[in-house]
Structure 1
Amino acid sequence: MPNTGESLPSQTDSALHRINSLLLAEHSMDSLLQAVVDATKDTLPGYVDASISVLIGTRPATAVYSGQLALDLDETQYARGHGPCLHAAVSGEFVEITDARSETRWPDYMARAVERGSLSSLSLPLPMDGLHGGMNVYATEAGAFDEDARTAAARFTRSAALAISNMHAYETARDIADNLDVALRSRAVIDQAKGILMERQKLNADQAFQYLAHASQATNRKLRDVAEHLVRTGEVMQPTRRR
C-alpha cells in the first residue's frame, strides 16, 4: 500500500471515487473489473494480489487478476474443485483464511497456498442476482487483514458488482456470462503475450505480467491491446513520441 499518510478508509474512498468515475464513461466489462482488482491490490496494506472469479455455467474461471499469485491460486482451486474462492462464489458466504499453515479446511489447497507464498486470504461473494462469483484477495503474510481491511475488501467487491449491474442492468444472466467470457478471451491473449516475454527475455510469469502492465500505463492503452499488439507484431507497444 502506498505511504500517502491517509487512513485505509480514506484511501478506499479515493480509489472507489476513481472507479465510480469510470462508470460514467464508455468502458468494457473487463476494463472496469480490472480497475477494481488493481485498486484493491494498491489500497490494501502489505503485499496482496486480487482477482475476480466467476462461474460460467458450472465452469469456474478468473475474469481479471492483479498479479500471477492470484491467478495461480485461483486455478489451483479450480483444478481441485474446492477451496475458499469456490466456496464463497457458490455458497455466498464470506471466507477468511488467517493462516494457511494451520487452516484445517481444504488441506491440499492450503499446502499449495503455503508453497506459493500466500499465508492468508479473503474470499467475498459477488452480491449479484443470477451470477455466481467472488472477489479473492491473497496476502503473503499470516493474519494480514484487520477490520478496516475486511471492510475495504467488501467495498471493492460491491463496486465490482455495481459495475456489472450498471453495464448490464437490462440483460439476462446469460448475457452477463457472455460478456465475462469476452474478458476470459482477453486474458488468453494476455497469457500468450506473457509467454512470448518469458521466452524472449527469460522472465517469470509475474515479471512478464508486470512488464505488460507497465507498457499499458506508458502508452495509455488497455492491457489487452498491448498484449494483442505483441502477439500480432512481435513488438512491445511504445509510447507515441511527441515532435
Structure 2
Amino acid sequence: MQQLLRDLARVVLADRTLEEVLGEITALASRGIPGAEATSITLLRDDKAFTAAYDGEMALAADELQYERGHGPCMDAGRGGVVLRIDDMNTEQRWPEYVSHVRTNTPVRGSLSVPLPYQGSTIGALNVYSSRPAAFAPPESLAAGLEVAETIAVAVANADAHWRLGEQTRNMRLAMDSRAVIEQAKGVLMAQRHVDAEQAFEVLREASQRYNRKLRDIAQGIVDGTQENRGR
C-alpha cells in the first residue's frame, strides 16, 4: 500500500494528455491493488459509458460486456456513487445476464468497482478484475482502490481545468483578432467614405444585420477586398 501511494504521488499531471495520465494510473493500480490482475477506468458522459484507459485485455472485455447491456457493476458504481464488489462470478445474482457472459467470454471471476468522485458527484468508476474468486475480499484491496480513485479524480480535474484555460485563451485570441480586423475595416471605410470611426462602425453593424453575417466576417471581407485591389 505504501509503495502504491508513493507511485501515485509521482504521477506527473502537467503537460500530458489525460489519456497518458490515466494509462499510467491503471498500470500502477494493476501492480499495487492487492488481488488485481487487470484494471480499467470507466468514464460516464451524458450517461454513456466508455473505457478511458485499461491495463489488461480482460478488463476491457469485461467493461464492454457491460456497455453492450447498459448495466453492470462498473456502470452502476459510477452512476450511483457506491462501491460494488463481486466475490464470485459463479454465484453472483445481481447482474445475471452480464455475469453469464463474463463467465463464458472472459477469465474474470472477481471484480471491484470504485466510484470516481468529482465536484460533489461521480464521473465513472475504477474497475479492478481478477481470475480468482474473492480476490478483493480483504479490506486492503478497497483501501488501495479508494486511493487510486482519488488520484484519477485529481487527474480528471486537472485535465478539465487545463482545457478550460486553453478554451479561454483561444476565445481571448479570437476576440483580439476580431477586434483587429474590425479596426482595419473601420479605417478603410473612414478613408473611402470620409466618415468618422463611429459612423464607420455603424456601417459595419448595419451590413452585419442586413446580410445576417457576423460583424467580424463583414469586416474581413472589406479588408480582403482592399488588399485584392492593391494587388492589381
TM-score, normalization: structure 1?
0.62
Deviation of 1:27 (Å): 0.8
Question: 2:67 is matched with which residue: 64, 70, 78?
Answer: 78
Query: Cα RMSD between the aligned structures?
Result: 1.8
Map 1:24-173 to 2 at 5 A: 25-46=14-35, 48-115=37-104, 116-129=106-119, 132-145=123-136, 146-169=138-161
Task: Give 1:227-242 correspondences, 5 Å limit.
Answer: none
**Residue aligned with 1:126, SS:** strand
Shift of 1:156: 0.4
What is the CA–CA distance in structure 2 between the aligned matches of 1:112 and 1:36, rounded to whole Å?
28
Greater CA radius of gyration, 1 or 2? 2
TM-aligned CA deviation for residue 46 of structure 1? 4.2
How many aligned residue pairs are there? 162
Question: Do the aligned residues in 1 keep the contact of 2:29 with 2:36 (CA within 8 Å)?
Answer: no
Aligned amino acid, residue 18 of structure 2: M
In 1, Cα distance between the equivalents of 2:33 and 2:122? 26
Residues in 1 aligned to 2:78 and 2:27: alpha-carbon distance in whole angstroms: 20
CA distance in 2, matches of 1:109, 1:69: 14
Separation (CA, whole Å) in 2 of partners of 1:164 and 1:47:
23
Stretches of structure 2 lacking an aligned partner (at least 5 in a row): 168-232
Following the alignment from structure 1 to structure 2, what is the Cα–Cα distance between the partners of residues 59 and 123?
17
Cα offset, 1:131, TM superposition: 5.6
Q: Which residue of 1 aligns with 2:210?
A: none
1:147 alignment partner AA: P
Cα distance change on mapping 1:46 and 1:148 into 2, 3 Å: closer
Deviation, 1:15, is: 1.7
- Relative to structure 2, which stretch is displaced further, 40-49 or 92-101? 40-49
Cα deviation code 1:9-59 (max 9, x no counterpart): 22212221222xx12x41111111111111001212345111111122232
What is residue 240 of structure 1 aligned with on the other side?
Answer: none
The equivalent position to 1:10 in structure 2, one of 2, 6, 11, is 2
In structure 2, distance between residues paired with 1:44 and 1:114: 23
Deviations 1:150-186 (A, max 9, x none): 10111001100011112323767xx9xxxxxxxxxxx
Query: Residues 193-212 of structure 1: matches in 2 within 5 Å?
Result: none
Q: Deviations over 1:182-221 (max 9, x none)?
A: xxxxxxxxxxxxxxxxxxxxxxxxxxxxxxxxxxxxxxxx
1: distance between equivalents of 2:114 and 2:97?
21
Aligned mates of 1:32, 1:86 — CA distance in 2: 22
Give the Cα separation in 2 of the matches to 1:92 and 1:126: 8
Q: Measure the CA separation in 2 of the matches of 1:164 and 1:103.
A: 32
Q: Does 103-112 or 41-50 show the bigger shift? A: 41-50
